[in-house]
Structure 1
């Protein structure tokens, strides 16, 4: 009998151990995602590219391609009939101008002209904002016409809108659908484009006038200023942004690189290199703005989406004008591809009245709309940018955006409420922000959207540990003093001074964002993204590390879908404020080993994660009466090591 009791106790103990181990575990990276990572690793040197840009590109592609497997917003089926309302007129124009000998626009209808957002007159901008807001209140479609059109940018039905040569033509027609809806409200309104190269020159583009009451509203947190303040969506919650916490804007060189090519295959997926890939560059802008715009499924719910894509269409318009000047017919320059849904003669997803190649027709920008060139100015100061919202840099001949508070206005009530630090206030007010303000004066507001419900109580939290290794070539103003004189060759923390530390260092120099600069204080953020794999949900958080030290440690507490009757699966990735990816390590048999950072969490909340932030926090801290609290990694399953080693985090899992 005693023997039986022993066996039962052993089995019970074994089951408990198995249960604890099964709470959070490692799973394989989904094959479609791994294929994308592998392709980039084969074709790009990590020394030359910010890894976070690749991360976002692959994750966006994977989530779009597998969108049918997760929740996405419902769309009103009447939108098909709504779209068809304008097709008859468009087809008439196409039929009448299909003769290749026709070289001029029809006299019966002049194309409307799209301008850069800051080049609109005050009255034009007011009417545009009014039309967008009216579309949000319009009930011709459910739940309203704006949301119905935004919901149509949906992975479940628009499979070929991304990651292939149809990206350009599909979004051209989608923009016209949006613009047509606006013009039914106000026939004099035309969609403007947001030329973000005008903002990129600023030290901190998130302080651009674009993110102000006059234009699109604030870029940090819930949008509570400007024409779109307090916008909500039934499934996505209140309109939210998180500007300059990842990604980067396009700059003049990016545009010049694209315009240096001759054929569409040289600027489109899958054949374009990263320097010339227009879809890749557009994805970085989505990431830069963040919030709803940072996720493709929710992106169109931010009105900036349409102005961003109008800018991409503007660049394509310029590219096609050059093609015509060089004797290339852009309407026939549809790249050959074997990507499903992207072949030239495929029916266009969501726009069944067109084939993909119809999106490349010359008629759109000849008879429907055209563009006014983005503003420039003169090096010899003979003319300015012709906008009160822009400043001419005469030494470059480039126009640059004004900052939010450069119009000699008092700081807004909102800034008075949210900003208490003198440094933070200066960062807000400065036209060209000092580097010490980079990414340190705001936190991140997550949307907490989970399968169409925006509610933080639906999430569980798990702790991760981040170890940051000091990067090469960085120097801080904290020097040794010898005979009363500071030796400014190396700072006192630099491991180059200490052989006993150097032997433990990794070596390498990974690619970064263009605007990778030290804060000067030593404080730096390491960002962590969590992507739901078997649910719809995304979050970004960060921990602060001391970039002066040889090694610095921090913890973060990340949301994941609270498991119920089925486990939650997610992909986790970390990167520093310069876009360098960190390597993941998972606890296996009590030891941290390299892993995929693709995890599964079961529904028992007693180990490794908590029902809320407090539960996750207490998994990493021990409190012992009046003693000093101590950290513990007993329940920390995942560690990210942000070192110098020139290696893609998923490199060892490549096929």
Structure 2
């Protein structure tokens, strides 16, 4: 006779083992938060109330800091020697020009002979009394004759060999705001950019060679004092390659628009589309070295630079206060991160950002602000060329090498680089030019209504045609994908007009009637995701994890659906409003300003993953109903496919008002608070889908039949988005 006590013991033992298998060897399991990330959260939130600073600002800043400090953990795209040699040759040309300029102080020449860069057999006479030489192909496309939306500019025949003629040595570049340029000047600039893109350098091209230099310098050109000087140098090198000055993009003119995504700069007249793949405009059909097209998702996060950001930086004169690792919220690098995140796509990744030409005109603006700051230093008796900031990172010390250049970091602060250029001031009232208008004492970019409708829905009087045509030389492509991913820019600043967001309580209640009648949100704008992982772009490299969102209605919202009692309409509150919480005012956390409300109540909560031991980011959103006191939704986010090996990643979520959501992880005892860092393996049980469709069916299909209830055992992560009293990370 079998001892029932033994059977009972075996049963308990088997059940315990099964629970351990489920909780420990699950495909998506929690791991400790990386130490650098945890320390950043604690440092940035100490002695600061959650009612004073928006939590998403801190969240995205700390993620960036962690990705910078852990680049050695992830594979990276290799830069070819030919690209490095090309960049170094531009350096020799630029500094050789400086030597020739000093020589002319000792002797004079009637005529100067200048060799065309990388064209040793071609020499061009440039009269010393003239600066930039016009090119015969200005404004034209070989075989077409014009850039659609920019208009035809007369000139000699098409399809001739196109030479980029440098300006006379010693003459200073004059950089102007993009909207201050004539059509002819802007067309000249973008044509020359495209000429670099078409000119081979090894297996790459001249433009991508400069972008590759930025990619390989990410750890030493960011998150420290070398940021300003390194980027000043790379801008100067592009000018050397182009033969003309780079214009700058003062995005303050766009920030103060009611809808910055409708700015004329996001039409074919300037940068091309801001949503999805760039298929028209001057940079149409560009691809990165990994074969992915240019991608943008303007307004999905981040912010453009505004006057308050600039004023806070300019209120200092000590360079240590405005360079990393400053403890203050306003540094050049942090305000620069904001538009990178706002544009998204390649621009959101520090490793791929330079593959979008918008990178250079944005950094020219940051350099303009730095020039203003250096002027203030001189007025205070400080020599900006020698006032190099303190740096805890020896790679960014004043004597460290400025990779990949054979110069020291302090040389980026030299007077030589600054004196090469003159900045023309941006448009000011009443002289705003043809592409901006004077509103309330400041120049604001003109809008093109309809361009913020998303891919396939654009309405722009500047569109038409196929964009830049002709052969665009690209590096060998891997599998077709969407956008390049690496260490991502994160910003302390977020414009909550992005997607759908909310103003402060009083502003929301005062202006709700106007907003509700005209939905200004971007709830209808899709997000073009990115699929590059470890330098290769393919959706097959990704698996998809189901994520549930539980959303608490923010207390300041009002909707125009009123209760009626005894025939009387009560407009003091809407019918969806939950019972009054006496603690609401005490626990009202900081929200982004200038928010817009979706009259329907639909809103987005974004969820993103960043690889810890792989290079890649995925971002998607769930749509929640803000009318309800509590609502829930689902989304599915990409992580590295564990069939290719175990992967670690960090997952976070935030709503469009800047509230960071709390992660809860599935365990043997249900959901519990967790770090947000995970490991995904190919072990049992399977908590993900190899395809997006597979991930959805695992949640909702039972035996091939649609189920009435979701399989919660397949949802490893839940984010709770609620009004919080304390910092999430405390």
Inter-partner Cα distance in structure 1 for 2:226 and 2:269: 34
Inter-partner Cα distance in structure 2 for 1:329 and 1:411: 46
Find the counterpart in structure 2 of residue 255 from structure 1.
Answer: 310
1:320 aligned to 370, 374, 387, which one? 374
Find the counterpart in structure 1 of residue 287 from structure 2.
Answer: 232
Q: Determine whether 1:204 maps to 2:259.
A: yes
Find the counterpart in structure 1 of residue 436 from structure 2.
Answer: 390
Find the counterpart in structure 1 of residue 445 from structure 2.
Answer: 400
Find the counterpart in structure 1 of residue 691 from structure 2.
Answer: 612
Q: CA deviation at 1:51?
A: 2.5
> Structure 2 matches for 1:75-86, cutoff 5 A?
75-86=79-90
1:373-404 deviations in whole A, cap 9, x for unaligned?
A: 111113xxxxx312x211111x2233334336
1:118 aligned to 179, 200, 204, which one? 179
Q: SS where residue 648 of structure 1 aligns?
A: coil
- Structure 1 residues 300 and 410: CA distance shift in structure 2, 3 A: closer
1:372 aligned to 409, 421, 424, which one? 424
Find the counterpart in structure 2 of residue 418 from structure 1.
Answer: none
Find the counterpart in structure 2 of residue 485 from structure 1.
Answer: 568
- Structure 1 residues 323 and 95: CA distance shift in structure 2, 3 A: farther
1:42-84 deviations in whole A, cap 9, x for unaligned?
A: 2644323332232222222222222222122211223343233
Find the counterpart in structure 2 of residue 424 from structure 1.
Answer: none
Find the counterpart in structure 2 of residue 459 from structure 1.
Answer: 542
Q: SS where residue 170 of structure 2 aligns?
A: coil
Q: SS where residue 648 of structure 2 aligns?
A: strand
Find the counterpart in structure 2 of residue 217 from structure 1.
Answer: 272
Find the counterpart in structure 1 of residue 122 from structure 2.
Answer: none
Find the counterpart in structure 2 of residue 175 from structure 1.
Answer: 235
Inter-partner Cα distance in structure 1 for 2:517 and 2:532: 34
Q: CA deviation at 1:650?
A: 2.4
Q: Which moved more, 1:206-215 or 1:135-144?
A: 135-144
- Structure 1 residues 565 and 444: CA distance shift in structure 2, 3 A: closer
User: Is the 1:236–1:447 Cα contact (8 Å) retained in structure 2?
Assistant: no
Find the counterpart in structure 2 of residue 165 from structure 1.
Answer: 225
Inter-partner Cα distance in structure 2 for 1:315 and 1:121: 23
Q: Determine whether 1:362 maps to 2:366.
A: no
User: Is the 1:60–1:295 Cα contact (8 Å) retained in structure 2?
Assistant: no
- Structure 1 residues 473 and 405: CA distance shift in structure 2, 3 A: closer
> Structure 2 matches for 1:432-581, cutoff 5 A?
436-497=519-580, 502=581, 508-564=587-643, 566-581=645-660
Q: Determine whether 1:62 maps to 2:66.
A: yes
1:424-474 deviations in whole A, cap 9, x for unaligned?
A: xxxxxxxx9997232212111112111122111221111011011111222
Q: CA deviation at 1:629?
A: 2.4
Find the counterpart in structure 2 of residue 621 from structure 1.
Answer: 700
Inter-partner Cα distance in structure 2 for 1:619 and 1:503: 42
1:274-333 deviations in whole A, cap 9, x for unaligned?
A: 1x3121111111111111111111111111111111111111111112222333221122
User: Is the 1:569–1:600 Cα contact (8 Å) retained in structure 2?
Assistant: yes
User: Is the 1:258–1:267 Cα contact (8 Å) retained in structure 2?
Assistant: yes
Find the counterpart in structure 2 of residue 422 from structure 1.
Answer: none
Point out where structure 1 has 5 or more consecutive residues left out of the alignment.
Answer: 99-106, 184-188, 379-383, 415-431
Inter-partner Cα distance in structure 1 for 2:340 and 2:187: 25
1:592 aligned to 660, 666, 671, which one? 671
Q: CA deviation at 1:211?
A: 1.1
User: Is the 1:60–1:296 Cα contact (8 Å) retained in structure 2?
Assistant: no
Q: SS where residue 283 of structure 1 aligns?
A: helix
1:106-162 deviations in whole A, cap 9, x for unaligned?
A: x9622111111121111111111111111111113431122222122225x442211
1:293 aligned to 341, 347, 350, which one? 347
Inter-partner Cα distance in structure 1 for 2:285 and 2:307: 34
Find the counterpart in structure 1 of residue 328 from structure 2.
Answer: 273
Inter-partner Cα distance in structure 2 for 1:451 and 1:627: 36
Inter-partner Cα distance in structure 1 for 2:18 and 2:435: 65
Inter-partner Cα distance in structure 2 for 1:356 and 1:434: 54
Inter-partner Cα distance in structure 1 for 2:408 and 2:517: 49
Inter-partner Cα distance in structure 2 for 1:457 and 1:623: 25
Q: Which moved more, 1:561-570 or 1:571-580?
A: 561-570
Find the counterpart in structure 1 of residue 41 from structure 2.
Answer: 37
- Structure 1 residues 290 and 44: CA distance shift in structure 2, 3 A: farther
Q: SS where residue 41 of structure 2 aligns?
A: helix
Inter-partner Cα distance in structure 2 for 1:340 and 1:471: 46
Inter-partner Cα distance in structure 1 for 2:318 and 2:691: 52
Q: CA deviation at 1:6?
A: 10
User: Is the 1:347–1:356 Cα contact (8 Å) retained in structure 2?
Assistant: yes
Q: SS where residue 300 of structure 1 aligns?
A: helix
Inter-partner Cα distance in structure 2 for 1:564 and 1:10: 33
Q: CA deviation at 1:527?
A: 0.5
1:246 aligned to 275, 281, 301, which one? 301
- Structure 1 residues 169 and 435: CA distance shift in structure 2, 3 A: farther
Inter-partner Cα distance in structure 2 for 1:20 and 1:298: 39
After TM superposition, the score normalised by the length of structure 1 is 0.86
Q: CA deviation at 1:491?
A: 1.6
Q: Determine whether 1:140 maps to 2:201.
A: yes
User: Is the 1:158–1:350 Cα contact (8 Å) retained in structure 2?
Assistant: no
Inter-partner Cα distance in structure 1 for 2:233 and 2:335: 20
Q: SS where residue 573 of structure 2 aligns?
A: strand
Find the counterpart in structure 2 of residue 127 from structure 1.
Answer: 188
1:636 aligned to 715, 718, 722, which one? 715
After TM superposition, the score normalised by the length of structure 2 is 0.77
- Structure 1 residues 11 and 144: CA distance shift in structure 2, 3 A: farther
Backbone CA RMSD of aligned residues: 3.1
Q: CA deviation at 1:572?
A: 0.4
Q: CA deviation at 1:594?
A: 1.1
Point out where structure 2 has 5 or more consecutive residues left out of the alignment.
Answer: 103-167, 452-457, 466-514
- Structure 1 residues 450 and 435: CA distance shift in structure 2, 3 A: farther
